[in-house]
């Protein structure tokens, strides 16, 4: 307790589903903090020093507590290699954390005490370490070595959409992590009509073999053979391929989808009772069939211009670069003398050195071709942000062959950049999916500053600011506002959405984008956004949308100059969408 403040746990205060707090803890196992320091949402600048002085001890206390717990790595006991897709669980809490996919390091915040720690990874036997002591304001280091062996299971969630938890929070007595890892008599009830998307791991996807390729295990809640539908994809966003409907514990074949699948989507059949203790299908585990022989995955790849070009870290038009590829052997047999051959019919890229030697790739390990890289050159006429298509064929002495398709970016920029400035990120991902479905290439980021220098090379920039209470203000005079204004003034095309961007935000220090877009902001509005109608004679002619969202209170905006109206709220009638060509 500091300065008369008291501690309120968010769940006891009010409950929300699907926000960043849910994602951080539910998906990544990390704690997400919401810190509210003042009595007003945007305090006046003169109050900031006082607010900091009041809260400084508490913030420093929080920083000390963030390092309190256990930290370490999980390793292969036979090779000493760090395992980057391992899971660490504190048995007394029964909620996992995940090793960092780049460094393999993990950290779990804990109160002082003695704990039991269990680690597991696909292709390894789990291991438990007892009597791990945690002291106040410090981190206890731990290294856990796992022995190769064991099966391959769902490793992490991508999506957990379990309905009616908010209105009936006491009814579902299961925890989501209970569907991860090996069969252990614990299960997750996914809810009546609910769905979950589980990641099998980038290094251990489901592989098409002879017969069934994976098994969905049903947990025992006393109601056997509950129904569900099974889909697979190599992206958590889809598109999804429906495999079959299942009941109870059942095995499935991915032959209708392809050679491998990373994500499995389980959808409940919407049968049963919403308010039973374990509503919906009870998912205990998803297990891949054992991979026999060699199985190669492209783990990652990148271009290196440090010795062949201008050493700016970008594959520029007209430049030669080395292409470094890392291959992972997810099979049970060592790959002997692995060779890669690179080819391309892309008109903007030449292959200067097409053969590369990876050497032996033992089962469960990775190797790259940094000692014998491919050499490629882009034409000087290649536009910035162009995506070049390459084909990599691999073979080894045992007869294993496979082909992979690689996309290499030339220059900076691309077709689009989405600055997903909305804390809920509710529309940025949908914009990205729509653009990619019609063949555009680009990126989505939450940090615009990383792209200031290359912003000019994007054909279009999309900015999503969200709506109160989950919104972000683009401050007047700030570097983000300056970068966006310069981009448009230099010929760029921009889409900007936000419930308060146009009228309300500029009154409290937000940048006024109205003149840039030829928009006249007329009113703060009220909570009455309902049916949004497109306008005849424009590209929105015939469109009609029933609004639903976090808040129906949005700014009223009208066109000025040569801008034109594209959307209007039907009742009460006011303008809410403007385009300026």
pLDDT in tens, 23-77: 888 888 888 877 777 778 888 999 999 999 988 888 888 888 899 999 999 999 9
Across the range 296-317, mean pLDDT stands at: 91
Query: Cβ(100)–Cβ(27) under 8 Å?
Result: no
Query: Cβ(285)–Cβ(154) under 8 Å?
Result: yes
Query: Cβ(232)–Cβ(200) under 8 Å?
Result: no
Q: Tell me, what's the pLDDT at 578?
A: 97
**Alpha-carbon radius of gyration of the chain:** 27
Q: Write the pLDDT tens digit of every residue in 145-177.
A: 999 888 999 999 999 998 865 555 557 889 999
Which of 1-15, 363-377, 403-417 is least confident?
A: 1-15
Residue 430 has pLDDT above 90, yes or no: no
- b/e per residue 91-103 (b: at least 16 CB within 10 A): eeeeebbbbeeee
Q: Tell me, what's the pLDDT at 164?
A: 64
Residue 515 has pLDDT above 80, yes or no: yes
- b/e per residue 433-451 (b: at least 16 CB within 10 A): eebeeeeeebbbeeebeeb
Residue 536 has pLDDT above 90, yes or no: yes
Query: Using 50, 70 and 90 to split pLDDT, how confident is the model at 5?
Result: low
Maximum average pLDDT range among 223-232, 381-390, 412-421: 223-232
Tell me how far apart the alpha carbons of residues 293 and 295 are, in angstroms, rounded to a whole number. Answer: 7
Which of 8-12, 86-90, 384-388, 500-504 is least confident?
A: 8-12
What phi-psi label fits residue 528: left (phi over 0), alpha (psi between -120 and 50 degrees) or beta? alpha
Q: Write the pLDDT tens digit of every residue in 459-472.
A: 999 999 999 988 99
Across the range 371-381, mean pLDDT stands at: 96
Tell me how far apart the alpha carbons of residues 496 and 418 are, in angstroms, rounded to a whole number. Answer: 10
Q: What is residue 138's DSSP assignment?
A: S
β-strands 466-467, 458-464: how paired?
Answer: unpaired
Query: Cβ(234)–Cβ(162) under 8 Å?
Result: no
Residues with Cβ within 8 Å of 461's Cβ and at least 6 positions away in sequence, in order, are 416, 417, 418, 419, 455, 484, 487, 492, 493, 494, 495
Using alpha carbons only, what angle is made at residue 429 by residues 423 and 431, rounded to the nearest 5 degrees? Answer: 115
Across the range 288-316, mean pLDDT stands at: 89
Query: Using 50, 70 and 90 to split pLDDT, how confident is the model at 363?
Result: confident
Q: Tell me, what's the pLDDT at 553?
A: 94
Torsion of CA 226, 229, 234, 237, to 10 degrees: -100
Q: Write the pLDDT tens digit of every residue in 254-271.
A: 999 988 999 999 999 999
Q: Write the pLDDT tens digit of every residue in 117-133.
A: 999 999 999 999 999 99
Q: Write the pLDDT tens digit of every residue in 90-126.
A: 999 999 999 998 889 999 999 999 999 999 999 999 9
Three-state DSSP class for residue 46: helix
Q: Tell me, what's the pLDDT at 297?
A: 87
Q: Which of 138, 145, 181, 156 is nearest to 98 (CA)?
A: 156
| Better pLDDT: 300 or 509 | 509
Q: What is the pTM of this model?
A: 0.68
Using alpha carbons only, what angle is made at residue 469 by residues 465 and 470, rounded to the nearest 5 degrees? Answer: 40
- What does pLDDT average to over the chain? 91
Using alpha carbons only, what angle is made at residue 460 by residues 459 and 461, rounded to the nearest 5 degrees? Answer: 140
Query: Cβ(251)–Cβ(243) under 8 Å?
Result: no
Q: Tell me, what's the pLDDT at 3?
A: 61
* Percent of the chain at pLDDT exceeding 70: 98
Query: Using 50, 70 and 90 to split pLDDT, how confident is the model at 299?
Result: confident
Q: Tell me, what's the pLDDT at 439?
A: 80
Phi, psi of 203 (to 5 degrees): -90, -10
User: Residue 79 has which token pair?
Assistant: 């090779």
Q: Tell me, what's the pLDDT at 503?
A: 97
Q: Tell me, what's the pLDDT at 149?
A: 85
Q: Tell me, what's the pLDDT at 165?
A: 52
Give the E-state strand segments of 85-171 in sequence order: 86-90, 96-98, 105-109, 113-121, 127-134, 139-146, 152-153, 156-161
* Percent of the chain at pLDDT exceeding 90: 66
Q: Tell me, what's the pLDDT at 31?
A: 84
Q: Write the pLDDT tens digit of every residue in 483-492.
A: 999 999 999 9
């Amino acid at each position: 307790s500091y300065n008369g403040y008291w501690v309120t746990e968010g769940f006891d205060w009010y409950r929300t589903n699907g926000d960043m707090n849910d994602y951080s803890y539910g998906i990544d196992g990390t704690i997400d903090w919401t810190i509210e320091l003042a009595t007003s949402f945007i305090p006046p600048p003169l109050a900031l020093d006082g607010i900091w002085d009041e809260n400084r001890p508490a913030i420093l206390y929080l920083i000390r507590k963030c390092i309190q717990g256990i930290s370490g790595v999980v390793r292969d006991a036979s090779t000493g290699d760090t395992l980057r897709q391992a899971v660490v669980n504190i048995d007394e809490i029964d909620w996992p954390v995940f090793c960092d996919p780049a460094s393999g390091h993990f950290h779990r915040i804990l109160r002082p005490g003695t704990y039991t720690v269990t680690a597991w990874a696909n292709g390894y036997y789990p291991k438990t370490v007892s009597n791990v002591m945690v002291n106040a304001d410090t981190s206890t280091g731990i290294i856990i070595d796992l022995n190769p062996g064991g099966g391959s299971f769902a490793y992490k969630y991508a999506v957990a959409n379990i309905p009616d938890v908010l209105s009936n929070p006491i009814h579902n007595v299961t925890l989501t992590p209970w569907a991860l890892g090996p069969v252990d008599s614990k299960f997750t009830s996914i809810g009546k009509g609910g769905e979950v998307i589980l990641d099998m791991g980038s290094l251990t996807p489901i592989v098409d073999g002879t017969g069934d390729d994976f098994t969905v295990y049903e947990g025992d809640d006393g109601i056997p053979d509950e129904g569900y539908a099974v889909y697979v994809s190599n992206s958590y966003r889809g598109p999804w391929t429906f495999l079959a409907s299942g009941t109870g514990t059942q095995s499935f074949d991915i032959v209708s989808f392809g050679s491998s699948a990373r994500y499995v989507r389980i959808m409940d059949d919407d049968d049963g009772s919403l308010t039973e203790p374990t509503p919906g299908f009870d998912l205990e585990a998803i297990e891949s069939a054992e991979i026999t022989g060699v199985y190669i995955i492209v783990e990652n790849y990148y271009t290196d211009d440090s010795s062949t070009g201008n050493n700016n870290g970008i594959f520029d038009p007209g430049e030669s670069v080395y292409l470094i590829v890392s291959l992972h052997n997810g099979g049970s047999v060592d790959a002997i003398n692995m060779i890669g051959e690179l080819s391309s019919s892309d008109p903007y890229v030449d292959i200067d050195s097409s053969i590369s030697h990876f050497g032996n790739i033992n089962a469960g390990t990775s190797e790259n071709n940094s000692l014998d890289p491919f050499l490629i050159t882009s034409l000087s006429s290649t536009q910035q942000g162009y995506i070049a298509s390459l084909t990599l064929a691999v073979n080894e002495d045992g007869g294993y062959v496979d082909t992979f398709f690689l996309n290499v970016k030339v220059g900076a920029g691309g077709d689009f950049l989405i600055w997903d400035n909305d804390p809920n990120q509710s529309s940025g991902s949908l914009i990205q999916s729509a653009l990619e479905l019609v063949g555009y290439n680009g990126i989505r980021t939450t940090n615009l500053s990383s792209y200031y220098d290359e912003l000019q090379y994007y054909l279009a920039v999309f900015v999503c600011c969200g709506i109160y209470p989950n919104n972000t203000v683009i401050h007047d005079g700030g570097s983000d506002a300056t970068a966006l204004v310069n981009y448009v003034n230099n010929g760029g095309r921009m889409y900007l959405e936000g419930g308060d961007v146009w009228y309300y935000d500029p009154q409290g220090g937000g940048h006024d984008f109205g003149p840039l877009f030829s928009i006249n902001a007329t009113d703060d509005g009220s909570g009455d956004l309902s049916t949004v109608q497109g306008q005849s004679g424009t590209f929105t002619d015939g469109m009609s949308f029933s609004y639903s969202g976090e808040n129906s209170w949005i700014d009223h905006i009208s066109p000025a100059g040569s801008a034109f109206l594209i959307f209007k709220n039907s009742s009460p009638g006011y303008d809410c969408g403007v385009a300026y060509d």
